[in-house]
């Protein structure tokens, strides 16, 4: 297998297929394309392309047996399933003005899908819609999808370059193939078994236009041999833009399929080669040099970093956010967060700077800083603070405040093990209800959520602020949430699968991977600690206006990705907002706010979004909606579906 595997990579993109013509000798097809040439699967027509149902009575097909590519017995069930992707007859046109063609097309489509299901194929490729209207085609496919078991249907869509790269909202977008896909999938109600196979052409649209597809359900990229250039040795190669595109497909588990005739007949033939090797080369698969080149691109990719390998299983997996006040975290959750060395290095840096500002060198031996870790968990911030004190030569008196009685047991064992009894006092209490024996110089917490304030850091630190000195330092000192609109077809379909309102009005923590970010992030809510006034509310409201770049083309907004950036102290920051994210930190994934009905946006248009942070006596919740280009319902009104308990 020329592509093979990268370390930690088990994705489908390591398999490469080849598109072939119709053959009724499938064993020979597999032998030539897989076992001899090294391809992993074939994209093969299932039915003789000359077949038309309306002609059955007039020709040799009148026997009653349809002209399929051999009996199901010619291959084993595992061979059909693993090595064949069915290719539905490309002539079909279900929206043809000619009634005979239309009826023949519908009959043939259903016959071929039924045969593919009988063979237990994993996927079938549907031909590209022929005209501007595809309503009847989509209707027939939607009917089929209702009764389909596990098979995927891939709609073939050309990645065409729009007529005008500087498209604006008034531009004609008929050259934008995304419009065809969007129309088709809307007619099929975003069915999760309907995906895309992109036809890659020799010219490519803008980077923003291509970027949209990484948020769509693209399963394969069909690369025509016409895309390939010729290198100095006469072998096929790709230009830099195509190379980056193919690498992007690899990273998003999109399989490559080589298609077309060889346009490099002399590839790999050495002028000084022996006659025997020339004969052997002449018997090689004509598309093998293209497979070798794709394998070369795959193998030269950088191996996945350790953090990415750790996060592979979490990619695009929706998780409910933590409820740190209502629920006591489990040992496994603590252990995961404690492995994030980068986070605690940043905290140690912040505490070190605070200690140096709090105590001069002259006072270092005499004056002790009172430091309170509120929400101490199993002690990583206690350890980071004590290491900061050792690093700066400052004396500390530490209070470790923790409400989870199970974590308190671990804290006591840690203090005893490390010999910190004279330095650290453990307080088993909710920070909001504890009466501190003295006021703190420094208050340290790690109450931040993926959206900054979504784990109730503002409410917790407001409650703890009363035992911070007037000139005391809070670490973190401030944090801001950020939001951006995204195309996220998989996330939307996963939420939709629950078939209820509640899941569409819930925010999820998710390692976002297969998404298209449609506009730069914008800041939403900011909080500063200590709070200047007790009368300042933690309720917030923000109106945001995102402009879709002109060269993106139209796009679908499935929801919003949320992030945060925090200032721990002075210039020490921590965050996951993509443009400023702290490298190699994995404690936080993004948060995802879905839309009940995805919204289509045009190039150059403005997406107006409204976000609220609402506070009640027992809960805090978010509400959100889109106002333009088309209004959405206000999601999660009064916290009816999703809230964080106080």
Q: 276 by DSSP, 3-state: which?
A: helix
Query: Per-residue pLDDT tens for 151-187?
Result: 999 999 999 866 554 444 333 345 899 999 999 999 9
Q: Does a structural domain hold residue 451? A: no
Pick from 473, 462, 463, 445: nearest CA to 369 = 473
Residue 274 has pLDDT above 80, yes or no: no
Q: What is the predicted pLDDT for the residue at 286?
A: 95
Instruction: Check residue 638 and give left, alpha or beta (phi > 0: left; psi -120 to 50: alpha).
Output: left
Residue 431 among known ligand-binding residues: yes
Q: Are residues 154 and 265 in the same domain?
A: yes
Q: Peptide bond preceding 530: is omega within 30 degrees of 0, i.e. cis? A: yes
| Distance of alpha carbon 256 from alpha carbon 93, whole angstroms | 26
Here the tokens at position 63 are 């026997």
Residue 402 counted as an annotated binding residue: yes
Mean of pLDDT values over 358-367: 93
Torsions phi, psi of 87, nearest 5?
Answer: -115, 110
In this model, does residue 459 exceed pLDDT 50? yes
Count Cβ atoms below 10 Å from residue 225 Cβ, excluding itself: 18
Question: What is the domain extent for residue 376?
Answer: 331-446
Q: Is residue 458 in some structural domain? A: no
Structure tokens that stand for 347 in this block: 């905290």
Domain match, 295 and 338 both: no
Residue 469: other Cβ atoms inside 10 A: 14
Residue 313 lies in a domain: no
| Average predicted confidence (pLDDT) for the chain | 91
What does the pLDDT read at residue 167? Answer: 43
Confidence of residue 277 (pLDDT cuts 50, 70, 90): very low
CB 588 within 8 Å of CB 576: yes
Convert the pLDDT of each residue in 583-597 to its tens digit: 999 899 999 999 999
- Mark whether 516 and 640 lie in a shared domain: yes
- Which of 34-48, 183-197, 294-308, 631-645 has the least mean pLDDT? 294-308
| Average pLDDT rounded to a whole number, residues 436-446 | 96
Model confidence pLDDT, tens digit, residues 19-38: 999 998 999 999 999 999 99
Q: Tell me if 442 sits within 8 A of 488, measured CB to CB.
A: no
Average pLDDT over residues 438-446: 96
**How does pLDDT run across 251-270, given as a tens digit for each residue?**
999 999 999 999 887 665 44
Give the pLDDT of residue 401: 96
**377 vs 277, more confident:** 377
End residue of a domain, out of 287, 304, 321: 304
Which range is most confident: 66-70, 528-532, 611-615? 611-615
Instruction: For residues 18 and 519, give the distance between their C-alpha atoms in angstroms, rounded to a whole number.
Output: 36
Based on the structure, what is the number of domains in the chain? Answer: 3
CA–CA separation, 483 and 625 (whole Å): 13
User: Which pLDDT value is given to residue 164?
Assistant: 52
**Is 385 a residue whose pLDDT tops 90?**
yes
Is there a single domain that holds both residue 117 and residue 183? yes
261 is in an annotated binding site: no
Q: Is 58 annotated as a binding residue?
A: no
Question: In the chain, what percentage of residues exceed pLDDT 70?
Answer: 92
Q: Which of 255-269, 430-444, 517-531 has the lowest mean pLDDT?
A: 255-269
Q: How confident is the model at residue 64 (pLDDT cuts 50, 70, 90)?
A: low
Catalytic (active-site) positions: 446, 455
For residue 398, the cross-strand partners are 371, 424
Residue found by looking up tokens 């047991």 in the block: 409
State yes or no: 344 annotated in a binding site: yes
Same-domain status, 144 and 274: yes
314 is in an annotated binding site: no
Q: Is residue 189 part of a domain?
A: yes
Which of 33, 81, 85 is CA-nearest to residue 220?
Answer: 85
Task: Give the model's pLDDT for residue 269.
Answer: 46
User: Which of 9-23, 347-361, 535-549 comes out lowest in average pLDDT?
Assistant: 9-23
Do both 101 and 243 map to the same domain?
yes
| DSSP 8-state secondary structure symbol assigned to residue 47 | B
């Amino acid at each position: 297998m020329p592509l093979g595997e990268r370390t930690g990579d088990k994705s489908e993109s390591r398999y490469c297929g080849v598109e072939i013509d119709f053959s009724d000798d499938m064993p020979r097809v597999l032998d030539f394309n897989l076992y001899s040439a090294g391809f992993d699967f074939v994209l093969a027509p299932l039915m003789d392309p000359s077949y038309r149902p309306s002609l059955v009575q007039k020709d040799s097909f009148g026997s009653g047996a349809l002209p399929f590519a051999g009996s199901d017995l010619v291959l084993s069930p595992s061979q059909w399933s693993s090595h064949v992707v069915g290719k539905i007859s490309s002539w079909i046109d279900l929206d043809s003005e000619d009634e005979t063609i239309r009826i023949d097309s519908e009959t043939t489509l259903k016959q071929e899908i039924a045969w593919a299901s009988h063979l237990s194929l994993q996927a079938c490729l549907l031909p590209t819609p022929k005209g501007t209207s595809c309503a009847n085609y989509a209707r027939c496919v939607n009917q089929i999808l209702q009764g389909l078991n596990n098979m995927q249907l891939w709609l073939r869509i050309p990645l065409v370059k729009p007529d005008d790269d500087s498209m604006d909202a008034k531009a004609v977008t008929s050259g934008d193939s995304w419009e065809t896909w969007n129309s088709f999938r809307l007619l099929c109600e975003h069915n999760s078994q309907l995906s895309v196979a992109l036809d890659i052409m020799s010219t490519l649209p803008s980077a923003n236009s291509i970027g949209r597809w990484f948020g769509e359900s693209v399963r394969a990229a069909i690369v025509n041999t016409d895309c390939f250039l010729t290198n100095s040795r006469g072998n096929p190669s790709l230009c830099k833009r195509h190379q980056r595109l193919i690498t992007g497909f690899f990273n998003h588990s999109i399989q490559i399929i080589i298609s077309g005739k060889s346009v490099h007949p002399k590839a790999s033939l050495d002028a000084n080669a022996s006659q025997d090797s020339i004969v052997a080369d002449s018997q090689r698969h004509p598309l093998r040099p293209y497979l070798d080149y794709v394998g070369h691109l795959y193998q030269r990719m950088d191996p996945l970093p350790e953090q990415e390998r750790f996060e592979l299983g979490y990619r695009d997996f929706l998780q409910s956010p933590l409820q740190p006040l209502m629920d006591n975290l489990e040992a496994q959750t603590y252990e995961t967060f404690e492995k994030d060395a980068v986070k605690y290095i940043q905290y140690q840096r912040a505490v070190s700077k605070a200690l140096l500002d709090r105590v001069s060198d002259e006072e270092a031996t005499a004056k002790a800083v009172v430091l309170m870790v509120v929400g101490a968990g199993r002690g990583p911030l206690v350890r980071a603070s004590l290491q900061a004190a050792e690093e700066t030569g400052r004396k500390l008196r530490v209070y470790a405040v923790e409400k989870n009685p199970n974590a308190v047991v671990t804290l006591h064992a840690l203090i005893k093990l490390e010999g910190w009894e004279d330095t650290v006092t453990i307080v088993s209490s909710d920070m909001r209800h504890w009466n501190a024996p003295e006021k703190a110089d420094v208050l340290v917490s790690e109450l931040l959520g993926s959206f900054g304030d979504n784990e109730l850091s503002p409410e917790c630190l407001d409650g703890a602020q009363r035992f911070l000195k007037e000139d005391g330092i809070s670490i973190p000192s401030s944090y801001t949430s950020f939001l951006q609109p995204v195309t996220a077809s998989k996330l939307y379909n996963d939420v939709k699968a629950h078939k209820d309102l509640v899941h569409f009005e819930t925010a999820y923590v998710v390692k976002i991977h297969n998404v298209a970010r449609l506009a730069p992030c914008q800041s939403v809510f900011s909080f500063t600690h200590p709070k200047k006034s007790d009368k300042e509310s933690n309720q917030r409201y923000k109106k945001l206006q995102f402009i879709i770049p002109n060269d993106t083309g139209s796009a679908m907004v499935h929801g919003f990705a949320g992030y945060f950036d925090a200032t721990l102290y002075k210039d020490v920051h921590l965050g996951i907002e993509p443009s400023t994210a702290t490298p190699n930190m994995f404690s936080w994934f993004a948060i995802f706010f879905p839309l009940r009905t995805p919204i289509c946006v045009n190039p150059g248009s403005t997406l107006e979004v409204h976000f609220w942070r609402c506070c009640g006596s027992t809960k805090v919740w978010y509400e959100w909606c889109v106002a333009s280009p088309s209004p959405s319902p206000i999601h999660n009104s009064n916290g009816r579906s999703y809230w964080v308990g106080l």
